[in-house]
Amino acid sequence: MGPSVGASKSAIACQQMWAAPSTPLSTETTILVRSMTDVLVRERPESAAEALRVLRLMFPEYPLSLRLVAVASAMKWGERPAPYMPR
């Protein structure tokens, strides 16, 4: 016998509760991410891991999530330092 209607509504509500919000970045955060992206363009790291290491050294007080946004932004906008080649 399949799940009841109440159980499926509960599962949907749980999925919605844990979905990542897609809020735009604040102006201050946007400027910071752009600064990080500029560093990546200037430093030209060989891989995504190297890019994260460079950002960790240059921006140690900021969380990993912001550094990941900067790496993704650099790759998305064609300012990537080098193509990422998985092994």
pLDDT tens for the chain, 87 residues long, are 555 554 555 555 444 444 445 566 788 888 898 999 999 989 888 889 999 999 999 999 999 999 999 998 888 765 444 455 455
Structure tokens at 42: 């200037």
Does some domain include residue 72?
yes
Say if 52 falls within a structural domain.
yes
Q: What is the pLDDT of residue 19?
A: 45
C-alpha 72/C-alpha 13 separation (Å) is 30
- Give CA–CA dist 25/59, Å, rounded: 18
Residue 14 belongs to some domain of the structure: no
Task: Give the range of the structural domain holding residue 51, as residue numbers without chain letter.
Answer: 25-87
Q: Is 6 within the bounds of a domain?
A: no
* Predicted local confidence at residue 17, as pLDDT: 43
Compute CA 87 distance to the chain's CA centroid, rounded to the nearest angstrom. Answer: 21
From residue 21, give the alpha-carbon distance in Å to each of 18, 25, 49, 75.
9, 11, 26, 22
Q: Indicate whether 33 belongs to any domain.
A: yes
Cα–Cα distance, 84 to 15 (Å, whole number): 32
Residue 18 lies in a domain: no
Task: Please count the structural domains in the chain.
Answer: 1
- The position carrying tokens 């752009």 is 34
pTM, rounded to two decimals? 0.60
pLDDT for the residue 81 = 45
What's the CA gap between 40 and 48, in Å, rounded?
10
